[in-house]
């Protein structure tokens, strides 16, 4: 039963939704206030207790070794473990080998079901194969695959051997893949002959082949034959068929997991920042394992009977933490879907929920708003009674979308609006199933996480006022560094000295609920995808007709934000007619697609003769945005003219 109830005097007045009885009864965390307080009073005791729920090869000597000079947090130093051992072997050894680990639904309706034993077997065979290719602990492996079981198997095999995976979203372009590989210097690239979306083939191998030219570190390319099981790989350039490598190692038996300590990386995941160059966020095994294990367990109240469906792609952090590692560490049955939410029709996801009796559904605000546009008839045409919990991630969810999501799924399910980042690795501000909810608020910090809202100098701002979101204490799944760029890592901690600065702004209300507003830096979230304005601008200026460019985010009723580009053309490139102008705009959009990928294409392109700049020549996007949206321009004293 959900009940709106009267707020306590002196507290913010907003509708509070309480969990159904059944949720309360079964919740892992019954008393949030008490658990939170204990976790903050004794973080080492708290995280240490959780870590003992997982298996270690050698016990840690302390929970955290924090260096305030370099902002390095070494979690569970002295201990060794392996995340693939904890996600696979641990369950099989306890007799859960026949439990389903992965249900995969392909773009055109194909289906695969894989048990924990089968997943472990494939992972070990791949490890033997990777070992035979000469890969060793610490080597990087770039994974450019569609969301398929092979993507998960590849990640887990790397984790098992101590190889560092760098998954690149399969919607990225050749140039985007290349620049990520130039930075990571992988020895191996894993890709597929093709991917599929809306029934259309995506030529991944063609992109991968072009991107790998000139990257001398790459010795081999493993090709998953997703489209054609007889596809001829090019052995002369080091290509090998993924299935053949697995077949060759069929009878090799187990492959021992590498002991991974507090400093041993699990993966690099590239994400956008304020400069044109994406940053390689590095996560290490032990801390990331403990953080994703616990957040999955508590935020989704994982039980053995669950079928858990997360709509992300493992190409992003949500897929890393909450399709692959967190759920498998909790011995969950994970449903993974390739393709678009509204293809072949807008009922796709609802149909999957009915078919597989999904219990936990973790979606995104943009997907919810898209479903809202298609209308209630799609969810209402399906039996969604198996659902017991919903989730949202990636961008703020507006209260209308929140209410719609709740109403079409029966009007009683709690929604976990989870705020976190690639860098944090795990949920940071989030409800728990038994805590009260406010539509549009991520509610309160997860146990063990200390959040505050401060001004530029690090002073807390009064409740009700907006400020910057900071994390005041280290947390286990915190990123370790930015690959090959320790200065960029340090910047996160020095912007506001001694605290981790998230780049987000938010307001905390008088009842202690957090309301996330958005990024304050030059990062834009378009349909939940994280893009850097500088990245898109550098793609724009590489077009032969473009001299200068500036990109801003505009509020968008579907995607949260949309991209608008202001472009100054080169001399002599000005179109004469309307037709020429429209074809130039099209061409520029196409160019950005080629340079970065479809998700980065500007929605609007305005040709202009002037861009607001500081005297030192920096484009003032803030001013452009204010003018575009009719907002006050703020301080323009540094404007050049
Ligand atoms: C935004 C995605 C409001 C935020 C997991 C953050 C959110 C950025 C939420 C990180 C949420 C993520 N409410 N905003 N529940 N979740 N964000 O690295 O601006 O792709 O800084 O990680 O997404 O994006 P990233």
Query: What is each CA distance from 450 to 125, 420, 422, 447, 499, in whole angstroms?
Result: 42, 13, 18, 8, 10
Nearest CA residue ID for atom 4, ligand 1: 395
Render pLDDT for 477-513 as a digit per residue (tens, 0 to 9). 999 999 999 999 999 999 998 899 999 999 999 999 9
3-state secondary structure of 452: strand
Render pLDDT for 34-46 as a digit per residue (tens, 0 to 9). 999 999 999 999 9
3-state secondary structure of 418: strand
Token representation of residue 571: 């001399």
Render pLDDT for 284-343 as a digit per residue (tens, 0 to 9). 999 999 999 999 999 999 999 999 999 999 999 999 999 999 999 999 999 999 999 999
Nearest CA residue ID for atom 13, ligand 1: 396
- The answer to whether the CB of 422 is under 6 A from ligand 1 is yes
Q: 347 pLDDT exceeds 70?
A: yes
Distance in Å, CA 420 to ligand 1 centroid: 5
- The answer to whether the CB of 417 is under 6 A from ligand 1 is yes
Lowest model confidence (mean pLDDT) among 36-50, 290-304, 346-360, 619-633: 619-633
- The answer to whether the CB of 442 is under 6 A from ligand 1 is yes
Render pLDDT for 579-605 as a digit per residue (tens, 0 to 9). 999 999 999 999 999 999 999 999 999
The alpha carbon of residue 34 and the mean position of all alpha carbons in its chain are separated, in whole angstroms, by 30
Question: How much is the average pLDDT of 174-187?
Answer: 97
Ligand 1 pocket mutation, candidates 394, 422, 426, 427, criterion most atoms within 8 A of CB: 394
Model ipTM value:
1.00
Q: 7 pLDDT exceeds 70?
A: no
Domain boundaries, the chain: 35-340+419-508, 527-629
Q: Cβ(510)–Cβ(532) under 8 Å?
A: no
Question: What confidence score (pLDDT) does residue 13 get?
Answer: 74
Question: What confidence score (pLDDT) does residue 48 get?
Answer: 98
Q: What are the counts of helices (DSSP H) followed by strands (DSSP E) for the chain?
A: 21, 28
Nearest CA residue ID for atom 7, ligand 1: 395
Q: Is the peptide bond before 512 cis (omega within 30 degrees of 0)?
A: no
| 591 CB-near residues (< 8 Å, 6+ apart) | 539, 540, 542, 543
- Label residue 441 by pLDDT band (50, 70, 90): very high
Q: What is the rounded average pLDDT for all residues in the chain? A: 95
Question: How much is the average pLDDT of 245-263?
Answer: 97
What is the three-state SS of 521-542? CCEEEECCEEEEHHHHHHHHHC
Distance in Å, CA 554 to ligand 1 centroid: 17
**The pTM of the whole model exceeds 0.90:** yes
Ligand 1 pocket mutation, candidates 530, 533, 600, criterion most atoms within 8 A of CB: 530
- The answer to whether the CB of 419 is under 6 A from ligand 1 is yes
Nearest CA residue ID for atom 6, ligand 1: 421
Q: Cβ(313)–Cβ(527) under 8 Å?
A: no
- Looking at the structure, give the CATH architecture of the domain made up of residues 527-629: 2-Layer Sandwich (3.30)
Q: Provide the percentage of residues in the chain whose pLDDT is more than 70.
A: 98
Q: Which residue has the tokens 């995506």?
A: 202
- The answer to whether the CB of 519 is under 6 A from ligand 1 is yes
Q: 3 pLDDT exceeds 60?
A: no
State the chain's maximal CA–CA distance in angstroms: 75
- The answer to whether the CB of 516 is under 6 A from ligand 1 is yes
- The answer to whether the CB of 395 is under 6 A from ligand 1 is yes
Lowest model confidence (mean pLDDT) among 131-145, 182-196, 271-285, 295-309: 271-285
Fold of the 35-340+419-508 domain: Rossmann fold (3.40.50)
- The answer to whether the CB of 313 is under 6 A from ligand 1 is no
Q: 573 pLDDT exceeds 50?
A: yes
Render pLDDT for 25-76 as a digit per residue (tens, 0 to 9). 989 999 999 999 999 999 999 999 999 999 999 999 999 999 999 999 999 9
Nearest CA residue ID for atom 11, ligand 1: 419
Lowest model confidence (mean pLDDT) among 133-142, 392-401, 623-632: 623-632
Q: 377 pLDDT exceeds 50?
A: yes
Q: 9 pLDDT exceeds 70?
A: no
- Label residue 223 by pLDDT band (50, 70, 90): very high
Distance in Å, CA 419 to ligand 1 centroid: 6
Q: Cβ(293)–Cβ(268) under 8 Å?
A: no
Distance in Å, CA 212 to ligand 1 centroid: 31
- The answer to whether the CB of 281 is under 6 A from ligand 1 is no
- The answer to whether the CB of 525 is under 6 A from ligand 1 is yes
């Amino acid at each position: 039963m959900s009940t709106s109830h009267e707020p306590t005097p002196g507290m913010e007045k907003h509708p509070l939704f309480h969990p159904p009885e059944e949720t309360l009864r079964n919740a892992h965390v019954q008393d949030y206030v008490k658990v939170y307080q204990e976790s903050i009073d004794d973080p080492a005791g708290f995280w240490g207790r959780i870590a003992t729920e997982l298996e270690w090869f050698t016990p840690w000597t302390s929970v955290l070794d924090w260096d305030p000079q370099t902002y390095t947090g070494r979690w569970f130093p002295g201990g060794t473990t392996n995340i693939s051992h904890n996600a696979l072997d641990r369950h099989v050894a306890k007799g859960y080998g026949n439990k389903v680990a992965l249900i995969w639904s392909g773009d055109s309706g194909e289906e695969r079901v894989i048990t924990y034993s089968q997943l472990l077997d494939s992972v070990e065979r791949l490890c033997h194969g990777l070992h035979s290719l000469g890969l060793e602990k610490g080597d990087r492996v770039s994974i450019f695959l569609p969301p398929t079981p092979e993507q998960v198997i590849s990640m887990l095999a790397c984790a098992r051997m101590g190889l560092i995976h760098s998954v690149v979203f399969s919607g990225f372009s050749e140039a985007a893949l290349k620049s990520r590989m130039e930075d990571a210097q992988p020895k191996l690239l894993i890709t597929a002959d093709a991917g599929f979306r809306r029934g259309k083939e995506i030529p991944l191998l063609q992109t991968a082949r072009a991107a790998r030219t000139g990257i001398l570190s790459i010795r081999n390319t493993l090709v998953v034959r997703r489209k054609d099981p007889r596809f001829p790989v090019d052995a002369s350039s080091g290509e090998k068929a993924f299935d053949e490598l697995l077949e060759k190692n069929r009878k090799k038996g187990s492959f021992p997991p590498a002991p991974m300590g507090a400093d041993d990386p699990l993966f690099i995941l590239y994400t956008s920042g304020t400069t044109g160059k994406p940053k390689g966020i590095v996560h290490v095994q032990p801390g990331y394992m403990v953080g994703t294990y616990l957040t999955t367990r508590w935020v989704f109240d994982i039980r053995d009977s669950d079928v858990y469906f997360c709509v992300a792609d493992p190409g992003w952090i949500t897929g890393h933490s909450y399709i692959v590692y967190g759920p498998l560490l909790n011995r969950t049955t994970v449903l993974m879907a390739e393709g678009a939410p509204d293809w072949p029709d807008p009922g796709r996801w609802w149909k999957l929920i009915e078919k597989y009796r999904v219990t936990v559904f973790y979606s995104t605000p943009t997907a919810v708003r898209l479903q809202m546009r298609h209308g209630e008839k799609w969810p209402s045409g399906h039996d969604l009674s198996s659902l017991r919990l919903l989730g949202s991630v990636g961008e703020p969810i507006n209260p209308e979308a929140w209410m719609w999501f709740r109403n079409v799924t029966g009007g009683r399910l709690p929604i976990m609006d989870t705020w976190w980042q690639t860098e944090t690795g795990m949920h940071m501000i989030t409800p728990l199933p038994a805590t009260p909810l406010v539509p549009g608020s991520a509610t309160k910090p997860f146990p063990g996480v200390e959040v505050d809202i401060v001004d530029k100098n690090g002073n807390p701002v009064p409740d009700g006022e907006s400020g910057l979101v900071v994390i005041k204490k280290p947390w286990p799944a915190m990123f370790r560094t930015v690959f090959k760029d320790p200065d960029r890592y340090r910047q996160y901690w020095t912007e506001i000295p001694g605290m981790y600065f998230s780049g987000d702004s938010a307001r905390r209300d008088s009842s202690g609920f957090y309301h996330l507003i958005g990024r304050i830096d030059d990062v834009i979230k378009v349909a939940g995808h994280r893009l850097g304005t500088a990245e898109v601008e550098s793609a724009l200026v590489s077009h032969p007709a473009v001299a200068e460019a500036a990109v801003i985010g505009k509020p968008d009723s579907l995607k949260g934000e949309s991209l608008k580009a202001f472009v100054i053309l080169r001399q002599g490139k000005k179109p004469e007619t309307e037709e020429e102008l429209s074809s130039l705009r099209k061409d520029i959009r196409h160019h950005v697609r080629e340079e970065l990928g479809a998700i980065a294409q500007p929605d609007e392109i305005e040709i202009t003769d002037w861009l607001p700049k500081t005297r030192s020549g920096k484009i003032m996007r803030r001013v452009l945005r204010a003018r575009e949206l009719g907002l006050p321009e703020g301080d323009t004293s540094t404007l050049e003219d």
